[in-house]
Amino acid sequence: MALRTDFDDAVVWITGASSGIGRQLAAQLSARGARTVLTARREDALRETRELCGGDGRSVIVPGDLSDLGAIDALAATAEAAFGHLDMLILNAGISQRGLAVETEPAVVHSVNTVNFLAPVHIIRRVVPAMMERGSGRVVAVSSLSTRVPTPQRSAYTASKAALETYLAVLRRELMESGVGVTVALPGFVRTEISLNALNADGSTHGRLDPAQEKGMSPEDCARRIISGIERGRREILIPTDLRTRLGLYLQRRAPGLLDRLMAKAEVT
Ligand SMILES: NC(=O)c1ccc[n+]([C@@H]2O[C@H](COP(=O)([O-])OP(=O)(O)OC[C@H]3O[C@@H](n4cnc5c(N)ncnc54)[C@H](OP(=O)(O)O)[C@@H]3O)[C@@H](O)[C@H]2O)c1
């Protein structure tokens, strides 16, 4: 069965569409003819994204807090009802973390995993069956290169993304004959608000734009890379964003012990 990879008039639900990579995905997909359904907590920011997507008629905002798992069925039903069906689901919303594993409060691990892993699972269960019935659809998730190059101070974050990737790897095989494809994007450092909103070990907000983030790839370029990978029907889209992430990927494969020692000394926030 041919898996859908084009965007013309496709209905795409994007979570985390109020800023960063999600906003750029929404704007660029709209420019290619997609109709977008936009979810995040900040309504004002979602309205700004909707304007970038051509405004009413082509784009609908469905605000919601993905940490409220009990509300996700209703949220997904509203997203589906916006244009009558969904062709593509982009699981992009996420929060990061800064803090040593042994110092990080379990509540922080819980919060990060709820938004990054459990919420996507709840959404998939609610949305994918209709795609299967239609025999067409695609689930896209924005994971992170940190699952390939584990980076200190991001244990809960990396674990949540790895859980999502593994879940989706199984889902991909289960959906093989259904017409529904699964794509996972793994960016390195992208210049967004992710480090500002990251949770510290005690649950406070990190509140800083980390140097690696500041020097990272633009969210526009990252979105372009993700869209190009979707168009090619790729299973995984690795997006190393600079020499450091390329070197990290290489050493992780060839000399992980050496990378352990280098990473222990590296500046990671
Ligand atoms: N930037 C990077 O270097 C980088 C690298 C690898 C992977 N990623 C991944 O890329 C994705 C997008 O992040 P970004 O870099 O674009 O950062 P961002 O600008 O902080 O975007 C995160 C998005 O997630 C939404 N979100 C967070 N918590 C939410 C919740 N409880 N309910 C609903 N929406 C929520 C935010 O919206 P509200 O605050 O309005 O709710 C925002 O739209 C994330 O999954 C992140 O892990 C980023």
Q: What is the pLDDT of residues 53-85, one digit of tens each?
A: 998 789 999 999 999 999 999 999 999 999 999
* Cβ of 197 below 6 Å from ligand 1: yes
The catalytically annotated residue of 7, 13, 117, 157 is 157
Percent of residues, the chain, with pLDDT higher than 70: 98
* pLDDT computed for residue 155 by the predictor: 98
Ligand 1 centroid, distance to 45 Cα (angstroms) = 13
Ligand 1 centroid, distance to 155 Cα (angstroms) = 17
Ligand 1 centroid, distance to 108 Cα (angstroms) = 16
| Structural domains in the chain, sorted by start | 11-265 (3.40.50.720)
Percent of residues, the chain, with pLDDT higher than 90: 93
Phi first, then psi: what are they for 212, rounded to 5°? -65, -35
What average pLDDT score do residues 13-37 get?
Answer: 98
Q: Whose CA is nearest to atom 44 of ligand 1?
A: 94
Q: Which two three-digit tokens encode residue 242?
A: 């600079």
* Cβ of 252 below 6 Å from ligand 1: no
* Cβ of 241 below 6 Å from ligand 1: no
pLDDT at 5 over 80: no
pLDDT at 1 over 80: no
- Choosing from 92, 116, 146 the residue with most ligand 1 atoms within 8 A of its CB, the one to mutate for a pocket test is 92
Ligand 1 centroid, distance to 128 Cα (angstroms) = 22
pLDDT at 206 over 90: yes
Q: Which of 122, 41, 138, 46 is nearest to 86 (CA)?
A: 138
Strand 97-98 relative to strand 137-142, pairing: unpaired
Q: What is the pLDDT of residues 227-265, one digit of tens each?
A: 999 999 999 999 999 999 999 999 999 999 999 999 988
Q: Whose CA is nearest to atom 6 of ligand 1?
A: 144
Q: What is the pLDDT of residues 168-188, one digit of tens each?
A: 999 999 999 999 999 999 999
Ligand 1 centroid, distance to 185 Cα (angstroms) = 14
- Choosing from 24, 89, 95, 123 the residue with most ligand 1 atoms within 8 A of its CB, the one to mutate for a pocket test is 95
Name which residue leads in pLDDT, 124 or 3.
124
In the residue annotation, 167 being an active-site residue is answered as: no
* Cβ of 63 below 6 Å from ligand 1: no
pTM of the prediction? Answer: 0.97
